[in-house]
Amino acid sequence: MSETPPLLTEWFLEHGTMIGAHNQIWVNLRASAVHIFALFVIFCGYSRHYSYED
């Protein structure tokens, strides 16, 4: 059970780089979404702050 079957190893060698690239794209998308959300929250906070001052 501890040894991986050769077919599985070949599959990982063939698809490993593709999966790695896909994960990198997903990580980048998730990071940019977090940044956009943070900017949105900051913008809303500023606009609310200034509207209360008026």
pLDDT band at 4 (very low <50, low <70, confident <90, very high): low
* Residue 54: domain span: 25-54
Q: Is residue 33 part of a domain?
A: yes
In a domain, 11, yes or no: no
Per-residue pLDDT, 53:
63
Domain-embedded: residue 47: yes
Q: Is the pLDDT of residue 9 over 70?
A: yes
In a domain? residue 30: yes
Q: How many domains does the chain have?
A: 1
pLDDT (0 to 100) of residue 1:
54
Closest CA to 50 of 42, 9, 34: 42
Is 49 among the domain residues? Answer: yes
Structure confidence at residue 54 (pLDDT): 56
Evaluate whether residue 15 is within a structural domain. no
- What is the per-residue pLDDT across 11-41, written as a single tens digit (0 to 9) for each? 777 777 777 777 788 888 888 999 999 999 9
Residue 1 domain flag: no
